[in-house]
Amino acid sequence: MEGNAKKSAKKKAAAKKSPVPSILRSQFRSFARLAEQAGDGRPLLRGLRVAQDPTADRIVIVHGGSRIEFVLVPGTGDPPYAEVECRRMDSMGATEATPIASFRFDETGNVLQSTVPELVNENISQSNGAWSIVGAVIWDAMQGTG
């Protein structure tokens, strides 16, 4: 029982440190869970893997030899929003300085702005929206655009 209390205390402390409001972090976690399912039944995304970083608001998606880091960045406005920056990673884990894509979402998960125009109005917390985002960013990474 004591071990569970320590884990819970660590999670609460980490949540307090994050400058991202909890509702936006929850939307991002939902997106991460849905991203893991993106390869199911989709031949173009078969073999996709997702790694979640327990110490930061980020995930790494690996597919077809490409590694892409999705990082949650807090927004500073009203109504609350957050951005996700997507950057290529090399095999050693070094991240490129310039994002290949980024998108801004609100408390409901709705994409408000995106460097990939067709992603505007998708919802990161719904499977079709999450899969569209993952597919578009992976495609951009594989094409060398961004």
What mean pLDDT, rounded, does the chain reach? 84
How would you class 92 by CB atoms within 10 Å of its CB: exposed for 0-12, middle for 13-18, buried for 19 or more? exposed
114-118 LR contacts (CB < 8 Å, sep 24+): 116/140
Q: Band of the pLDDT at 9, cuts 50, 70, 90?
A: very low
Tokens read off for 6:
């320590």
**Tokens in use for 105?**
């979402």
> Which of 128, 117, 102, 139 lies closest to 35 in space, CA to CA?
128
Of the listed ranges 14-18, 40-44, 105-109, 135-139, the one predicted with least confidence: 14-18
Say what the pLDDT of residue 88 is.
94
pLDDT digits (tens, 9 = 90+) for 79-128: 889 999 999 998 888 999 999 999 999 999 999 999 999 999 999 999 99
Distance between CA atoms of residues 41 and 23, nearest Å: 30
Across residues 17-45, what is the average pLDDT? 84
